[in-house]
Structure 1
Amino acid sequence: MISLVNRVFTAFGPPTVEKKSDAIRFGILGAAKIAPLALITPAKSHPEVILQAVSARDRTRAEEFAKKHGIPDVRDSYQEILDDPNIDAILIPLPNSLHFEWAVRAIRAGKHVLLEKPSVSNATEANILFNLPELSQPNAPVLLEAFHHRFHPSVQLFRSFINPADVVHVHTDSMVPWFITAKDNIEFNYNLSGGSIMMLGTYNFGMLRIIFNDEPEECLTCDTSVFGDGVHDKCDYDFKAKFRFPNGGIGEATTSLRGPILWKPSEARVTTREVVVPDKTLPSTQEKVLTRQVTLHGFIHAFIWHRIDVKDSNVIRNKADRQPVKQWVESKSHKAYTYKEAGGEFAHLPGEDWWMSYRYQLEEFVNRVKGSPTQYWVSGEDSVNQMKMIDMAYEKSGLGLRPTSSFKVT
């Protein structure tokens, strides 16, 4: 308990480091609630990141935000930040419906972009954004969809226990308590591309895709709940979806933005097929088979708390009649707040146990901008496929795709 308290306390109040002369200067578009988690707090402990400017629709709000977070410059418009030659990179934490326009504008202004998830409103926008000609030029801007949780060591360790080809079923769930998301919040505004699939379920979808290491062939079912008041009836406040993947496996995702008061950590539970395990100690008439279940509790905010449970069900049986001779279960739990704890190919990577997933993400973003090697990345192709999966679910649900921006790319 003491280590948990210390870790969380330091994560939200990290040590401030001296900034390098060539640090990346960020501008923030919008005084959004997610910005402190996504960038402002992680930047304090990164020597190569400086928060330079912020703009919001309401300048007074921007000034209050800048004062609270120690941001020196306040600009009158988003475009004014993009036009500033001293700004190197942009954080876009705006409502989903504005991601496409301002990401395109930022890329065309030559700025690197850290783009809050979901990247855009639908796959049509994603195909345009992530295939902009500017992104394929020499010294192109860096564009990253901020799937922060995928950068945390716990997710990489979790993946090491799974052979995607053997996965037969995955259950994922996530939720936030009902009192956090009021009906009139942007989460339930269709014109702002709201909905539980967009706001939270996209985490689940991303986990399904990396567990199977493939793209879903079909959304089999997608059941949603809406308020049904004629105003919010296109925005789901919870959903349950089922997908079929190319290896025949089934992936399920369930999310609620109106969950119970008692919060439950997100979960990804993987069941694999029965596989034969070579064992030279057995007679030729017998074989050993194993079925594995791997569960990652707390995959979205693993820096607070997480646990990886690995449960191996072992059977020694006769080959002729497949009758068991011996059966036993081996269970073990793991954690990885640093890459050193995760071990394997990433063991050499930097990190502290109090680093948020956002801090790990920022480390890789800076590396990519600086031209240094990155060990993990969310590619443009990955982000396009992510939006295709979201569209697949909304089409199956009957609610329809989130609206495409009126902003035209010419």
Structure 2
Amino acid sequence: MAMALQLSTFVTQYLASGTHTNPTKSTNALRMGILSTAMINPAALIHPAETHGGVVIHGVASRDLSSAESYAKKYSIPHAYGSYSALLSDPAIEAVYISLPNGMHCEWAVRALEAGKHVLLEKPVAANADEARVVFETARRCERVCVEAFHWRFHPAAHVVDAIVASGRYGEVRKTSARMTTPSGSLPMSDIRWNYELAGGALMDMTYVLSSTRYFLHQPQLDEVLEATSVPSPEDSRVDQSTTATLRFSSSLSSTPITSTIYADMARSNSFWVIPRLWELPSISIECEEATIYFYNFMMPHLYHYIAITDKAGNTSYQKHYCFGPKWGVRGESWWSTYRYQLEAFVDKVQGREPVCWVDPEDSVQQMEAIDKVYEATGLGKRKGTQELVGSGEE
């Protein structure tokens, strides 16, 4: 389902680029490079940058020059590099987007930061919390911006839900439940998400379930893993095909500990054995004393979403928010994707302006700490980076 959402984003952004005039690029536009030729790049950066006057994509790197050149030609990127190091050595590039496999995030984020580049780093920020600390300590030391690309957190709909929960209108939060699934067979076993050496696994790829839980509880540390189980991949028992966990958090939104369940599944069984569960878009339910707030498709709300508020009498009201909201105000457009909002904030931060919203380093480290704790509770153990497993080197 995650891949289907990304493909839908490609289509909507392509249509948007055809119906909206792209702005003239500023003379001091941020020059960005891309490490990898991953499928996510067009949706996550290339197309959003087309509609941002303050960003230009200067180059793309692959371990194979011909692949980089072909990719650059396809997306009208002026420069191609046959190694990641070559791109980082280009003084014209000021910032990089890293969409390499999870296990390579730490190594190449550190190299990029030490090369003087700002970094937009795909989630999860690293293979484990130890690596996450290394990444952000390097950013601090090098005085560069580095942010985990939890794009959904930059969308107005997320801010509206947060405002509703935090207002106290419906009382204290009592429990939450988040899920994200992909229909069985959607991800071929050759996909990097199934690769242990690249820090694959359901909870790593679908870390959104934990991200949304922590975000709406105001980013608390995980108090305790009450229960956690994983279904191992049939190809590699070290990789979780699915993970279910019950967690306990202390939050400013409640005077008592909050119980949260998360469910991530990369091979969700079909309904009635034949019907793929295409309707199971990433969603979170937040139960308060007086009502339950349900946010459907929190991961890609720009495609479609709804916010349902059901009171104790069973009455339900619905909301949708594609722009405006309590943080962006009149800034932004209804056709902007989560990635486009994220890019707006990233450019502001890099250029010394206060972003409308942000993912702080401490938050990202605590996110990885929680992932580690869940994996340890399942018995699989926390993920390892590629350097720890096989030594350094380019993909």
C-alpha distance in structure 2 between counterparts of 1:227 and 1:389, whole Å: 22
Return the match for 1:129 from 118, 131, 135. Answer: 135
User: Could you tell me which residue of structure 2 aligns to residue 382 of structure 1?
Assistant: 363
User: Could you tell me which residue of structure 1 aligns to residue 383 of structure 2?
Assistant: 402
User: Could you tell me which residue of structure 2 aligns to residue 11 of structure 1?
Assistant: 13
Amino acid at match of 1:265: L
User: Could you tell me which residue of structure 2 aligns to residue 279 of structure 1?
Assistant: none
1:19-63 per-position Cα deviation (integer Å, ceiling 9, x unaligned)? 111001111111011111110111110001101111111222211
- Residue 99 and residue 358 in structure 1: after superposition, are their counterparts in 2 closer, same or farther (change >3 A)? same
User: Could you tell me which residue of structure 2 aligns to residue 335 of structure 1?
Assistant: 320
What is the CA distance between 1:389 and its match in structure 2?
0.6
C-alpha distance in structure 2 between counterparts of 1:305 and 1:363, whole Å: 21
- Residue 7 and residue 236 in structure 1: after superposition, are their counterparts in 2 closer, same or farther (change >3 A)? closer
What is the CA distance between 1:347 and its match in structure 2?
5.0
> What is the correspondence of 1:54-69 to structure 2 with a 5 Å cutoff?
54-69=60-75
1:355-384 per-position Cα deviation (integer Å, ceiling 9, x unaligned)? 110000000000001111212100110110
**Is contact 2:197-2:385 (8 Å) kept?**
no
C-alpha distance in structure 2 between counterparts of 1:239 and 1:31, whole Å: 29
Amino acid at match of 2:297: G
Amino acid at match of 2:237: D
Question: 1:180 aligns to what SS in structure 2?
Answer: coil
Unaligned runs of 5+ in 1: 1-5, 274-290, 314-327
Task: Give the alignment's Cα RMSD to 1 decimal.
Answer: 2.0
More deviation, 76-85/164-173:
164-173
* TM-score for both structures, normalised by structure 2: 0.88
Alignment: residue pair count: 363
**Is contact 2:9-2:337 (8 Å) kept?**
no
**Is contact 1:8-1:303 (8 Å) kept?**
no
User: Could you tell me which residue of structure 1 aligns to residue 253 of structure 2?
Assistant: none
C-alpha distance in structure 1 between counterparts of 2:225 and 2:89, whole Å: 43
C-alpha distance in structure 1 between counterparts of 2:241 and 2:111, whole Å: 31
User: Could you tell me which residue of structure 1 aligns to residue 213 of structure 2?
Assistant: 208
What is the CA distance between 1:11 and its match in structure 2?
2.6
- Residue 376 and residue 243 in structure 1: after superposition, are their counterparts in 2 closer, same or farther (change >3 A)? same
Return the match for 2:281 from 254, 258, 265. Answer: 265
C-alpha distance in structure 2 between counterparts of 1:349 and 1:101, whole Å: 39
Amino acid at match of 1:33: M
Unaligned runs of 5+ in 2: 1-7, 251-255, 271-275
Amino acid at match of 2:260: G
Amino acid at match of 1:160: A
* TM-score for both structures, normalised by structure 1: 0.85
> What is the correspondence of 1:178-193 to structure 2 with a 5 Å cutoff?
178-193=184-199
Return the match for 2:228 from 214, 217, 222. Answer: 222
User: Could you tell me which residue of structure 2 aligns to residue 245 of structure 1?
Assistant: 249
More deviation, 259-268/107-116:
259-268
What is the CA distance between 1:210 and its match in structure 2?
1.3
What is the CA distance between 1:228 and its match in structure 2?
3.8
C-alpha distance in structure 2 between counterparts of 1:12 and 1:216, whole Å: 40
User: Is residue 2:201 matched to residue 1:171?
Assistant: no
C-alpha distance in structure 1 between counterparts of 2:116 and 2:93, whole Å: 10
> What is the correspondence of 1:103-122 to structure 2 with a 5 Å cutoff?
103-122=109-128
Which structure 1 residue ranges, 4+ long, deviate > 4 Å from structure 2? 6-10
More deviation, 161-170/47-56:
161-170
What is the CA distance between 1:262 and its match in structure 2?
3.4
User: Could you tell me which residue of structure 1 aligns to residue 84 of structure 2?
Assistant: 78
The sequence identity of aligned pairs, in percent, is 34
Question: 1:217 aligns to what SS in structure 2?
Answer: strand
Question: 2:321 aligns to what SS in structure 1?
Answer: coil
User: Could you tell me which residue of structure 1 aligns to residue 301 of structure 2?
Assistant: 302
Question: 1:158 aligns to what SS in structure 2?
Answer: helix
C-alpha distance in structure 1 between counterparts of 2:355 and 2:208, whole Å: 22
More deviation, 212-221/302-311:
212-221
User: Is residue 2:149 matched to residue 1:146?
Assistant: yes
Question: 1:90 aligns to what SS in structure 2?
Answer: strand
**Is contact 2:33-2:57 (8 Å) kept?**
yes
**Is contact 1:7-1:354 (8 Å) kept?**
no
Amino acid at match of 1:257: M
1:208-240 per-position Cα deviation (integer Å, ceiling 9, x unaligned)? 1112222220111111111344xx111111111
User: Could you tell me which residue of structure 1 aligns to residue 372 of structure 2?
Assistant: 391
**Is contact 2:99-2:121 (8 Å) kept?**
yes
What is the CA distance between 1:329 and its match in structure 2?
4.5
Question: 1:130 aligns to what SS in structure 2?
Answer: helix
C-alpha distance in structure 2 between counterparts of 1:364 and 1:334, whole Å: 25
Amino acid at match of 1:301: M
User: Could you tell me which residue of structure 1 aligns to residue 4 of structure 2?
Assistant: none
1:91-137 per-position Cα deviation (integer Å, ceiling 9, x unaligned)? 100011110000001011110100000000001111111122x5256
Amino acid at match of 2:217: F
C-alpha distance in structure 1 between counterparts of 2:111 and 2:339, whole Å: 24
1:292-335 per-position Cα deviation (integer Å, ceiling 9, x unaligned)? 1000000011110000011122xxxxxxxxxxxxxx45421111
What is the CA distance between 1:406 and its match in structure 2?
2.5
